[in-house]
Amino acid sequence: MKYSPFNNLSQKINKKVLFIFLLMPLLFSCNEQTKSASFTRIIERGYVSVGTLFGPNSYYVQADGYAGFEYDLAKKYAEYLNVDLKIVPSYSLDELFFKLNTGEVDFLAAGLSITDKRLSRFRFAPSYEQVSQKLVFKQGKVRPRKLSDLTGKLMVTASSSHVEKLEILKQEHTELNWLETSEFDSEELLLKILNEEIDYTIVDSNALAVNRRYYPEISVGFTIKKAEPLAWMVDKNGDDAILASLIEFFGQVHHNGTLLALDDKYYGHIEQFDYVETRTFIKAVSTKLPKYQPLFEKYAQEIDWRLLAAISYQESHWRPHARSHTGVRGMMMLTLSTAKQMGIKSRLDAEQSIRGGSKYFKRMINKMPDRIPSPDRMWFALASYNVGFGHLNDARIITQQQGGDPDRWVEVKTRLPLLQQKKYYKKTKYGYARGKEPVHYVENIRRYYDTLTWLDAKATEAAEAVVAPEVATPEVVAAEIVESTE
What is the DSSP track for 221-239? Answer: EEEEEEEEEEEEEEETTS-
Q: How many CB atoms lie within 10 A of CB 174?
A: 7
Residue 289 within a domain: yes
pLDDT of residue 76: 97
pLDDT of residue 380: 96
Residue 398 within a domain: yes
pLDDT of residue 482: 67
Q: Which carries the bigger pLDDT value, residue 265 or residue 410?
A: 410
Q: Which of 173, 210, 216, 213 is nearest to 193 (CA)?
A: 216
Residue 277 has pLDDT above 90, yes or no: no
| Share above pLDDT 90 across residues of the chain, in percent, rounded to a whole number | 68
Average pLDDT of the residues in 433-439:
92
- Please report which confidence band the pLDDT of residue 460 belongs to, taking 50, 70 and 90 as the band edges: confident
Domain boundary among 445, 461, 479: 445
Average pLDDT of the residues in 215-242:
93
- Please report which confidence band the pLDDT of residue 22 belongs to, taking 50, 70 and 90 as the band edges: very low
- Please report which confidence band the pLDDT of residue 397 belongs to, taking 50, 70 and 90 as the band edges: very high
pLDDT of residue 448: 94
Least confident of 34-38, 241-245, 438-442: 34-38
Residue 144 within a domain: no
Distance between CA atoms of residues 218 and 195, nearest Å: 11
- Helix/strand/coil for 405: coil
Residue 110 within a domain: no
- Please report which confidence band the pLDDT of residue 5 belongs to, taking 50, 70 and 90 as the band edges: very low
- Please report which confidence band the pLDDT of residue 27 belongs to, taking 50, 70 and 90 as the band edges: very low
pTM: 0.73
Distance between CA atoms of residues 244 and 38, nearest Å: 12
Distance between CA atoms of residues 45 and 99, nearest Å: 19
Residue 321 has pLDDT above 80, yes or no: yes
Burial of residue 74 (number of CB atoms within 10 Å: 0-12, 13-18, 19+): buried
Residue 42 has pLDDT above 70, yes or no: yes
Burial of residue 105 (number of CB atoms within 10 Å: 0-12, 13-18, 19+): buried
Q: Which carries the bigger pLDDT value, residue 208 or residue 276?
A: 208
Backbone angles phi, psi at 344, to 5 degrees: -95, 125
pLDDT of residue 472: 65
Mean pLDDT comparison of 51-60, 64-73, 243-252, 279-288, highest-scoring range: 243-252
Distance between CA atoms of residues 122 and 232, nearest Å: 10
Residue 426 has pLDDT above 80, yes or no: yes
Average pLDDT of the residues in 278-296:
93
Average pLDDT of the residues in 359-365:
94
pLDDT of residue 419: 94
Residues marked as catalytic? 315
Distance between CA atoms of residues 98 and 96, nearest Å: 5
Burial of residue 5 (number of CB atoms within 10 Å: 0-12, 13-18, 19+): exposed
- Please report which confidence band the pLDDT of residue 402 belongs to, taking 50, 70 and 90 as the band edges: very high
- Helix/strand/coil for 87: strand
Distance between CA atoms of residues 306 and 319, nearest Å: 17
Residue 407 has pLDDT above 60, yes or no: yes
Distance between CA atoms of residues 297 and 310, nearest Å: 12
| Share above pLDDT 70 across residues of the chain, in percent, rounded to a whole number | 88
Q: Do residues 435 and 416 make contact, with C-beta atoms less than 8 angstroms apart? A: yes
Residue 467 has pLDDT above 70, yes or no: no
Q: Which of 119, 97, 199 is nearest to 151 (CA)?
A: 199
Distance between CA atoms of residues 234 and 121, nearest Å: 10
The mean pLDDT value of the chain amounts to 87
- Please report which confidence band the pLDDT of residue 396 belongs to, taking 50, 70 and 90 as the band edges: very high
Domain boundary among 412, 430, 445: 445
Please write the tens of the pLDDT for every residue from 173-221.
Answer: 999 999 999 998 888 899 999 999 999 999 999 999 888 888 999 999 9
Mean pLDDT comparison of 51-60, 230-239, 270-279, highest-scoring range: 230-239
pLDDT of residue 461: 73
pLDDT of residue 471: 58
In angstroms, how far is CA 136 from the centroid of its own chain? 19
| Cis-peptide into 375, omega within 30 deg | yes
Residue 147 within a domain: no
- DSSP letter for 142, please: P
Please write the tens of the pLDDT for every residue from 237-249.
Answer: 889 999 999 999 9
Residue 95 has pLDDT above 90, yes or no: yes
Residue 340 within a domain: yes
- For the domain that residue 417 is a member of, what is the CATH number? 1.10.530.10
Which residues span the domain enclosing 379?
277-445
Amino acid (1-letter code) at residue 204: D
Average pLDDT of the residues in 338-358:
94
Q: Do residues 257 and 410 make contact, with C-beta atoms less than 8 angstroms apart? A: yes
pLDDT of residue 328: 87
- Please report which confidence band the pLDDT of residue 479 belongs to, taking 50, 70 and 90 as the band edges: confident
* Residue 198, C-beta contacts closer than 8 angstroms, at least 6 positions apart: 152, 153, 154, 155, 179, 189, 192
Burial of residue 171 (number of CB atoms within 10 Å: 0-12, 13-18, 19+): exposed
Instruction: Give the count of domains, the chain.
Output: 2
Distance between CA atoms of residues 445 and 308, nearest Å: 9
Residue 254 within a domain: no
Q: Do residues 87 and 59 make contact, with C-beta atoms less than 8 angstroms apart? A: yes
pLDDT of residue 483: 67
pLDDT of residue 356: 95
Q: Which of 442, 328, 333, 334 is nearest to 383 (CA)?
A: 442
Residue 203 within a domain: no
Task: Quickly list DSSP for 255-288.
Answer: HHSHHHHHHIIIIITSSS--HHHHHHHHHHHHHT
